[in-house]
Amino acid sequence: MQFSKIRALFAAVSVAGLMATSTVALAQETKTDLKAPVIAVIDVQKIMQESNASKGVSKSFETLRETYQKEISSLEDKLRKSEEELRKQQTVLAPDALATKRRDFEKQVGEVQKTVQSRKRALENALNEAMAVVHKNMVEVVADVARERGANLVLARQQFVLVDTQLDVTDTVMERVNKKLPQVALNVPKQ
């Protein structure tokens, strides 16, 4: 009875050893099944700056920024005039009336500051959202190009000093992004 337990234990250890050996062999076999990397390189910055959609977004952003800047300059001019008038009235008005006018002026300054911050935030958010659309489309195009070329690794051009031009897919991606996404609207909520 003792002998049969030893024999069963030996059989179990042998099976476990065989399974471990086959697992190692399978793991080694799997390692050798890995494909050699097929690399593609893309200049992400170039696409994000020079694609038609990106240029359109930048142009819209600048136009809107200039419009906001004119509005803000106009508001600042009004504040300067109000401040100037308040200084002139310092000697004429009673202290209570002067304090009231000063509070009103400070309230106006606060409102202008809020307007400036609100416009700036809205413009930045709209820019970020529009550029995210460009980026998303670029990534989709890169995936398509990589699949077509059999690439299993796509690297950013900015990471390297020298790259073989045959690996660079930037021009192909740029062409397709321009075709797929000719423009993106800069959506700034009305204020």
- CA-based nearest residue to 186, from 91, 15, 69, 57: 57
Tens digit of pLDDT per residue, the chain (191 long)?
A: 444 444 443 344 333 343 333 334 444 445 557 788 899 999 999 999 999 999 999 999 999 999 999 999 999 999 999 889 888 888 888 888 888 988 998 999 999 999 999 999 999 999 999 999 999 999 999 999 999 999 999 999 988 888 888 999 999 999 999 999 999 998 887 76
- pLDDT for 31 equals 56
How many angstroms separate the CA atoms of 127 and 56, rounded? 11
pTM recorded for the entire structure: 0.70
How many angstroms separate the CA atoms of 43 and 23, rounded? 42
Q: Tokens for 159, please give them.
A: 């990471």
- pLDDT for 172 equals 96
Phi, then psi, of 155 in degrees rounded to 5: -115, 150
How many angstroms separate the CA atoms of 156 and 95, rounded? 66
- pLDDT for 123 equals 93
List residues bridging with 41 in a β-sheet.
Answer: 155, 168
The helix-helix angle for 52-89 and 95-149 (nearest 10°) equals 170
- pLDDT for 17 equals 40
Q: Report yes or no: 158 and 44 within 8 Å, Cβ to Cβ.
A: yes
State the sign of the Cα–Cα–Cα–Cα dihedral 15, 17, 18, 20.
positive
- pLDDT for 30 equals 52
State the sign of the Cα–Cα–Cα–Cα dihedral 135, 141, 144, 150.
negative
- pLDDT for 188 equals 82
- pLDDT for 191 equals 66
